[in-house]
Amino acid sequence: KQEVTQIPAALSVPEGENLVLNCSFTDSAIYNLQWFRQDPGKGLTSLLLIQSSQREQTSGRLNASLDKSSGRSTLYIAASQPGDSATYLCAVKGGATNKLIFGTGTLLAVQP
């Protein structure tokens, strides 16, 4: 059974700092991994999707990497801004069930 864990559960950083969020999964037979952000009381916004054959994806100040063999992904946020404050979730899709399994989330606070 696929399990997805995110570390840390919460993170507070000063504005301008570069930071890394971690995601680990137990079953490496995945089709893809997605990173989402969720603002309080709102739905999810897809940030990056990495297919199983890819190693990383970049969008603006965001860079996500995927190491399938070790069951790990990282989301790198450069030059953080207060507007980046949100909960960040990773999710993997794959295996026999082809269901999207979400991680536990990292609550990020960027202090001005």
Partner 1 sequence: KAGVTQTPRYLIKTRGQQVTLSCSPISGHRSVSWYQQTPGQGLQFLFEYFSETQRNKGNFPGRFSGRQFSNSRSEMNVSTLELGDSALYLCASSHGTGGTTNEKLFFGSGTQLSVL
**Residue 72 is a binding residue for partner 1 (CB under 8 A):** no
At 111 the three-state DSSP class reads: strand
Binding segment (CB under 8 A) for partner 1, from list 12-20, 45-53, 64-72, 76-84: 45-53
**What is the nearest approach in angstroms of partner 1 to the Cβ of residue 67?**
18
Candidate residues 101, 106, 108, 110; the one interacting with partner 1 per rule CB under 8 A: 101
**SS3 for 89?**
strand
Assess contact for 70 and 57: CB atoms under 8 A: no
The single residue among 24, 28, 32, 74 that binds partner 1, judged by CB under 8 A, is: 32
Minimal distance in Å, beta carbon 14 to partner 1? 28
What is the closest distance, in whole angstroms, from the C-beta atom of residue 94 to partner 1 in the complex? 8
- DSSP characters for 16-61? T--EEEEEEES---EEEEEEEEE-TTS-EEEEEEEETT-SEEEETT
By the rule CB under 8 A, 44 interacts with partner 1 = yes
Give the position of tokens 């995927």: 66
Looking at residue 37, its amino acid is R
Give the residues lining the site for partner 1 (CB under 8 A). 31-32, 34, 36, 41-46, 49, 51, 89, 91, 93, 97-105
